[in-house]
Structure 1
Amino acid sequence: MEYKLSILGVRGIPARHGGFETFTEKLALFLVAKGWEVTVYCQEDGEGGVWESNWQGVHRVHIPVKRSGAVGTVVFDWKATCHALSKDGLFLTLGYNTAIFNFMQRVKGQINVINMDGVEWRRDKWGLIAKTWFWLNERAGCWIGNHLVADHPKIKEHLATRVRTEKITMIPYGGEVVNSADANLLTPYGIEAGNFSVIIARPEPENSFLEMVRAFSCKRRQHKLVVLGNFSPDTNDFHRQVMDAASDEVIFPGAIYEVAVVQALRFFSRFYLHGHRVGGTNPSLVEAMGAGCAVIAHDNPFNRWVVGPSAAYFNDESTCSAHFDLLLTDDQTTSQMKVASYERFLECFTWDRILHEYEKLLVHWYPCK
């Protein structure tokens, strides 16, 4: 039997934007190698008509959008959903941010599996209008989707307050195994292997940037902290707060998209700091574990399930600082944390495991088997 899958809800492939795009690239290539016909909808900047292409065996539908930002994404999702109404096979929608549009697919009888991502409406960065939009679309996605995917047990618990448990399958995010990296890639940043720690995240208040930078900067550490992310201190008050709180041992290299460089920063770091307070299985955290990082993380059920007991957890600035005080000179404990983190990754988060779980679920929901 020839299986067909259309993937909606992402910017497109090859991946350039984030975790869902990376997952889409991995899943599409995996399924194509298994004989599936896979279509991915791709957002393009500009004007003009829809056009199509083939990328490594994956069918891509390119939809130009004039608007940028969140509005452009909404317009793209609308156009992609309308286009998908003419296709057959199975549909996978990643994220529920415009789930109300998928009502058209439900009316037509198309089978749509929706990955519900995190609890977006709880994020501090959104205003009341955006939070209301996300809350409504979460409710819509729960009802409209034929089946739901949760990327974390706590997300599944949350969704189970909306729909019956049998409608939800928990499959976490995956990551690459990183057993080696090029130490020469550290040179431009003035750091040495093992003598720096790293934060890789969007610089938002809910990701504990200010608390972690203050905790590190409250005294001399004889150690560097590399903070990746797009900082705009001239236009963003929070970004300016974080940078003003940093000691001269904190480095802000901006956002880095070269995979080899990011892997080197993870692989050679002493600690990976993860301050996310909201969300499910975070891609950056999983990728850090795949590189064998010792993790210092904000203490919440999301992070504790992902990393397990091997991480050092903090609730506030003072407990985070205390971890630096103790662990920057404790090589034995740090080594044990690295080993345990990597073993937890191999147990639960390898791409091979995750992609096989998705294929099993998609085959189960394929129409007219």
Structure 2
Amino acid sequence: MNLVVLGIRGVPAAHGGFETFAEKLSLHLISRGWTVTVYCQEDGDGEIYESYWEGVRRIHIPVARKGAAGTIVFDWRATWHALRQPGLILTLGYNTAVFNVLQRIKGQPNVINMDGIEWRRDKWGLVAKTWFWLNERVGCWVGSHLVADHPKIKEHLATRVREAKITMIPYGGDEVLQADVSRLIPYGVEPQGFSVIIARPEPENSLLEMVRAFSLKERQHKLVVLGNFAPNENAFHRQVMEAASDEVLFVGAIYESSIVQSLRFYSRFYLHGHRVGGTNPSLVEALGASCAVIAHDNHFNRWVAGPEAHYFSDESSCAQLFDQLLDDEQAVERMRSASRAKFQERFTWPQVLQSYEALLTQWLPDDR
């Protein structure tokens, strides 16, 4: 039972949701007797080499170019190299699905997780949106089977291919029952004395609306914003920071999981402004930490967070939620309990990984 994973930067996870998922899935499958190979992107020049991590076979591909161009080069080299690997391919994301035509031609089974609707994101220009739109179409065609991480993503993909070709499996998360309160000390905040935003600072993630809503008046409360802001280089970043009151703390991007867990676990509210996408990993992780969720009102967020979360559509309605909920202990406790229940219902890793294993087993090559 051989699985080859394409589409991510590698394991162990150090970059994002897909890497975390790949790490969890790889370790689960290895414990179940599978052989798992993951392609890993490395900076610099040199030859392709192999290593092992926790039983995972890693194929390292050095790439000298940086940014999106480097990722495209890596995806091409990894996809080409994977043609010589036995077993089943799992491709995470469709951003370079045009390369997966190679698997289609060779007859390698390839299950593709189609991620979100990338070409709808505001941050991309016309060329990038066209590239993503094209690759979404190609991915639907060349994939042996497709995974959607949200019912609305499945509905969207079903306008491209027959519904029987799509399986809906959401993203998973860890349940957080306790966290290190000392991790709050560097930020000068106390448990329940702050709310938190964890998001890339892009217009589609409603950062400006949430910061403005919070900053309309003094709250006797802090808003901690995690994200990589570069106000000297990005006009939107500068606009968000200029709109913030003194009670808003921009703490940068934090990748140490224990710190992020503590900020979620001890927050008053977790604010989620994402307007585009499927099952967002950060929102799932907030449910796993029993956060009281205030989210942008759209069908993606409502399915994940459920009816007991509170939703805003614009700056004004977001400000009203702060006014209504900030001092309402009973409402906060109801929201936290509902988040815990929703997480247990459909987003635990055992549920997600077992669903993936069942699907991947169906698509293993017959010659195994």
Normalised to the residue count of structure 1, the TM-score between the two structures is 0.99
- Cα distance in 2 for partners of 1:343, 1:62 equals 40
Question: Residues 171-320 of structure 1: matches in 2 within 5 Å?
Answer: 171-320=169-318
Find the counterpart in structure 2 of residue 16 from structure 1.
14
Identical-pair percentage: 71
Question: Residues 1-369 of structure 1: matches in 2 within 5 Å?
Answer: 3-368=1-366
How far did 1:365 drift? 1.0
How far did 1:199 drift? 0.1
How far did 1:339 drift? 0.3
- Cα distance in 1 for partners of 2:154, 2:354 equals 20
- Cα distance in 2 for partners of 1:332, 1:355 equals 35
How far did 1:310 drift? 1.1
How far did 1:307 drift? 0.6
- Cα distance in 1 for partners of 2:219, 2:317 equals 16
- Cα distance in 1 for partners of 2:168, 2:67 equals 30
SS of the residue 1:340 aligns to: helix
- Cα distance in 2 for partners of 1:345, 1:290 equals 6
SS of the residue 1:174 aligns to: coil
* Aligned-partner residue type, residue 97 of structure 1: N
Provide, for residues 101-126 of structure 1, a one-character-per-residue CA deviation record: whole Å limited to 9, x for no partner.
Answer: 00011100100000000000000000
Provide, for residues 324-358 of structure 1, a one-character-per-residue CA deviation record: whole Å limited to 9, x for no partner.
Answer: 00100100011000000111001100001000000
- Cα distance in 2 for partners of 1:161, 1:257 equals 37
- Cα distance in 2 for partners of 1:77, 1:227 equals 32
Normalised to the residue count of structure 2, the TM-score between the two structures is 0.99
- Cα distance in 1 for partners of 2:37, 2:210 equals 41
* Aligned-partner residue type, residue 243 of structure 1: M
- Cα distance in 1 for partners of 2:186, 2:72 equals 39
- Cα distance in 2 for partners of 1:87, 1:231 equals 41
SS of the residue 2:306 aligns to: helix
Where in structure 1 are there 5+ consecutive unaligned residues?
A: none
* Aligned-partner residue type, residue 14 of structure 2: R
What is the aligned residue count?
367
How far did 1:367 drift? 1.2
How far did 1:241 drift? 0.4
Runs (4+) of structure 1 exceeding 3 A deviation are none
